[in-house]
């Protein structure tokens, strides 16, 4: 959740560290801080608020250190206060630590250290780390040794970076279940939670794996496995990441930019993979497991948040296109279930970031069970991508706004491709399906020209404090995702519901103050959706609907309609997604909310 950067090199280290924190701010933005070593002492600057607050303070610093680190926080243990902000340090401020993750056994360690006379100033789990390193340093006199001993004692999930005036000119890092990447540049090293903070400096990276620690000095880096107490030989790999994609261009924020990238996102998710003329789909990422795929008789999709809702669309798609039973499970629940699996069950993890702790834990659960583990991931080289046996990248480019938009669209496209790939020959109108998929970027472009109308309607509905999103079949996961988008960025209470279930409870809430967003594009069950809409209308509920162009009938049933271009039912979710994203976006803007950085949330949730 939190973002970490560390720098050692010829430049003034505060520059790359602050820039890196800005790139990682999507991971958490309650508070931020930096620490650096100049000559032989440590300095810490930390505050509640955004990285820009720290940047202003750093700009006033006269020091030009070559060794520094920084942190942007999403609070887990302890309120977001300046005291709880990272870096954390020992009593005499000789050891500085930043941490992402949760140290599950921190209380046990803390109690032990308190008994030994150590004093704690914060409510965080992280603060045990500098004290623990100090404790081991006093025993052995070697900082390298003390760092390794300390991290070996920690349980839970962590990526840790440390600097110390007791180990001048060295940068220390360790990882367990929380991402950490080392960039190896010309005469410089940069450590970060993800490559976006590194790519400006170098494209050569080393992904630290679980139980690995790195000790970095100007001469080079040493990597050790702290579980096995052994040296690990690793060489840098080339990063495949496009810096251009991360810029804001002329958009006021990343969320709008990313919604407007929908046409391009669909193109990139389908490029070179679909061949409408021959009716074939080629997924290079699945070639290696071709034979194993043929044996799959049950598919479990695991994911969180928006990726989970994309998974629900995938359930309908894959069952219909490939005739394979599919279940979608929240990764956070899947991990703690006891259910029987057979080797013919495959698990498919969907994750934009590839770093979501619950999704990673779900994959770990099925490790060693001889089950095929597949992935649909956006972030190239991320943990989920590396943990799975095979997979398909979304190629949506970096997604910066906390609320996921283009990633959902790419995930649905990839799920459709996987459905076709699995179901080779099982559906008759395969060519038509692929032609529709191929024409989707144009339709998305066409839809985006209606943005003003969507804005006006969204603004009108901001007076409601309660919303139900309803849909059936492919419209049902869209309803869930629509409600999530609205609550994430406007903080308006919204629930997604299967339209057919309204009469089993939710109808009781409907009155003139309770708004409904109906997902009603052309589909097999449109008449039934009309009935559900009528039931709401009859009780005075205001309704806005998304429907397929040329549907005049719906105008009579609802208060406002947003039209999408005509496509096949299975691909409606891609176009509907653009509408629900824009609707939530403009409602949030009207309400004066920070759409890129909604309160209490983080882009990459690396704690369970
Ligand atoms: C966070 C983000 C969501 C995202 C979810 C899953 O909650 O704010 O936008 O859908 O994590 O993330 P993933 O990277 O695994 O798709």
pLDDT for 1 equals 66
Pick the residue whose CA is nearest to atom 7 on ligand 1: 305
Quote the Cα angle for 27-29-35, to 5°.
Answer: 95
**Is-same-fold flag (251-446; 450-608)?**
yes
Ligand 1 atom nearest to 602, measured from its CA = 8
Q: Whose CA is nearest to atom 15 of ligand 1?
A: 351
Report whether residue 326 contacts ligand 1, using a CB cutoff of 6 Å.
no
Residue 194 — φ and ψ, nearest 5°?
-150, 165
Are 110 and 128 in contact by the 8 Å Cβ rule? The answer is yes
What are the strands, taking DSSP E only, across 297-415?
Answer: 298-303, 326-330, 345-351, 373-377, 390-393
What's the gap in Å between 31 CA and the centre of ligand 1?
A: 21
Cβ–ligand 1 distance for 359 under 6 Å, the answer yes
pLDDT tens digits, one per residue of 25-49:
877 788 999 999 998 899 999 999 8
Residue whose Cα lies nearest atom 2 of ligand 1: it is 603
Taking each helix axis from N to C terminus, what angle separates 128-140 and 106-115, rounded to the nearest 10 degrees?
50
Rounded Cα–Cα distance for residues 381 and 490 (Å): 33
Using only the alpha carbons of the chain, give its radius of gyration. 25
Written out in words, the top-level CATH class of the domain with range 251-446 is: alpha beta
In angstroms, the CA 517 to CA 547 distance is 11
| Burial of 46 (C-beta count, 10 Å sphere; 0-12/13-18/19+) | buried
Provide the pLDDT for residue 274.
94
User: pLDDT tens, 560-578?
Assistant: 999 999 999 999 999 999 9
CA 404 to centroid of ligand 1, rounded, Å: 7
- Is the pTM higher than 0.85? The answer reads no
Q: Which residue, 392, 348, 340, is CA-closest to 372?
A: 348
Please give the Cα distance from 86 to 69 (Å, whole number): 10
Which residue has the least CA distance to atom 5 on ligand 1? 305
- State the closest ligand 1 atom to the C-alpha of 601, by its place in the atom list counted from 1: 8
Counting as low any pLDDT under 70, the low residues of the chain are 1, 240-247, 425-426
Are 321 and 274 in contact by the 8 Å Cβ rule? The answer is: no
Measured in whole angstroms, the distance separating CA 141 from the mean position of its chain's CA atoms is: 41
H/E stretch holding 51 reads helix 51-59
pLDDT at 240: 66
DSSP secondary structure, 453-504, as one string: HHHHHHHHGGG-SEEEEEE-TTHHHHHHHHHHHHHHHH--EEEEEEGGGGGG
> How many whole angstroms from 386 Cα to the centroid of ligand 1?
18
* Rounded CA separation 118/113 (Å): 5
Regarding the beta carbon of 404 and ligand 1, being less than 6 Å apart is answered yes
Interhelix angle for 406-422 vs 262-270, to 10°? 30
- The Cα–Cα gap between 588 and 597 comes to 11
> Taking Cα atoms as reference points, which of 605, 3, 159, 129 lies closest to residue 351?
605
The residues assigned a catalytic role are 2, 603
Q: Rounded to an integer, what distance in angstroms lies between the CA atom of residue 293 and that of residue 258?
A: 33
Query: Among the CATH numbers 1.10.150.170, 3.40.50.720, 3.40.50.10490, 3.30.1360.10, which is that of 450-608?
Result: 3.40.50.10490
Closest listed residue to residue 348, CA positions, set 322, 321, 319, 314: 314
The rounded distance, in Å, linking the Cα atoms of 269 and 408 is 11
Q: What are the boundaries of each domain within the chain?
A: 3-239, 251-446, 450-608
Please tell me the predicted confidence (pLDDT) of residue 102. 87
For the domain made up of 3-239, give the CATH fold.
3.60.20
User: What was the pLDDT predicted at 244?
Assistant: 45
Pocket of ligand 1 contains residue 351 by CB under 6 Å: yes
Q: List the one residue out of 350, 331, 491 whose CA is nearest residue 414.
A: 350
Measured from the CB, is residue 605 less than 6 Å from ligand 1? yes
User: How many other C-beta atoms are found inside a 10 Å radius of the C-beta of residue 57?
Assistant: 16
CA of 576 to the centre of ligand 1 (A): 19
Rounded to the nearest 5°, which phi and psi values hold at 72? -125, 130
In angstroms, what is the span from residue 399 Cα to ligand 1's centroid? 10
């Amino acid at each position: 959740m939190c973002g970490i950067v560390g720098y050692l090199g010829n430049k003034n280290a505060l520059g790359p560290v602050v820039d890196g924190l800005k790139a990682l701010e999507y991971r958490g933005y309650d508070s931020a801080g930096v620490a650096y070593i100049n000559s032989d002492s440590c300095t810490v600057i930390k505050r509640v608020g955004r990285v820009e607050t720290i940047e202003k303070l750093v700009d006033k610093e006269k020091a030009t250190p070559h060794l520094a680190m920084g942190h942007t926080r999403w609070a887990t243990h302890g309120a977001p206060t300046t005291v709880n902000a990272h870096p954390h340090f020992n009593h005499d401020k000789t050891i500085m630590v930043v941490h992402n993750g949760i140290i599950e056994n921190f209380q046990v360690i803390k109690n032990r250290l308190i008994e030994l006379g150590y004093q704690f100033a914060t409510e965080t789990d992280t603060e045990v780390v500098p004290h623990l390193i100090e404790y081991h340093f006093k025993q052995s006199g070697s900082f390298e040794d003390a760092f390794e001993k300390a991290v070996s004692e920690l349980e839970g999930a962590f990526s840790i970076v440390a600097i110390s005036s007791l180990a001048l000119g060295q940068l220390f890092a360790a990882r367990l279940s929380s991402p950490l990447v080392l960039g190896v540049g010309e005469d410089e090293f940069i450590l970060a939670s993800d490559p976006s903070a590194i790519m400006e400096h170098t494209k050569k990276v080393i992904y630290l794996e679980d139980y690995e620690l790195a000790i970095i000095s100007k001469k080079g880096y040493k990597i050790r496995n702290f579980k096995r107490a052994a040296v690990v030989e690793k060489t840098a790999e080339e990063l495949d990441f496009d810096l251009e994609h991360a810029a804001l261009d002329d958009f006021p924020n990343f969320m709008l930019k990313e919604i407007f990238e929908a046409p391009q996102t669909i193109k990139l998710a389908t490029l070179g993979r679909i061949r409408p003329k021959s009716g074939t789909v080629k997924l290079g990422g699945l070639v290696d497991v071709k034979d194993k795929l043929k044996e799959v008789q049950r598919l479990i999709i695991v994911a969180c948040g928006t990726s989970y809702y994309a998974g629900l669309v995938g359930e309908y798609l894959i069952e219909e296109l490939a005739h394979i039973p599919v279940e979608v499970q929240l990764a956070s629940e899947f991990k703690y279930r006891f259910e029987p699996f057979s080797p013919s069950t495959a698990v498919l993890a969907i994750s934009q970031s590839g770093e979501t702790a619950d999704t990673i834990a779900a994959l770990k659960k099925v490790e060693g069970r001889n089950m095929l583990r597949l992935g649909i991931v956006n972030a190239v080289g991320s943990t989920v991508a590396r943990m799975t046996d095979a997979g398909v990248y979304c190629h949506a480019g970096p997604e910066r706004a906390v609320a996921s938009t283009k990633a959902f669209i790419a995930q649905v496209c990839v799920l459709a491709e996987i459905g076709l790939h699995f179901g080779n020959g099982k559906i008759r109108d395969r060519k038509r399906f692929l032609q529709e998929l191929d024409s989707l970027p144009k339709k998305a472009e066409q839809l985006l020209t209606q943005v003003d109308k969507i804005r006006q309607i969204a603004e009108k509905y901001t007076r409601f404090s309660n919303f139900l999103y309803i849909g059936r079949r492919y419209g049902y996961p869209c309803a869930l995702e629509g409600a999530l988008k609205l609550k994430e960025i406007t903080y308006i209470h919204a629930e997604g519901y299967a339209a057919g279930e309204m009469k089993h409870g939710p109808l009781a809430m409907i009155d003139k103050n309770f708004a409904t967003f109906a997902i009603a594009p052309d589909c097999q069950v449109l008449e039934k959706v009309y009935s559900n809409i009528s039931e709401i209308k009859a009780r005075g509920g205001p309704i806005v609907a998304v429907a397929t162009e040329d549907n005049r009938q719906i105008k009579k049933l609802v208060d406002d309609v947003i039209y999408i271009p005509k496509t096949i039912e299975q691909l409606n979710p891609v176009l509907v997604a653009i509408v629900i994203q824009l609707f939530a976006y403009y409602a949030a803007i009207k309400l004066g909310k920070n759409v890129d950085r909604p309160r209490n949330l983080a882009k990459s949730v690396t704690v369970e």
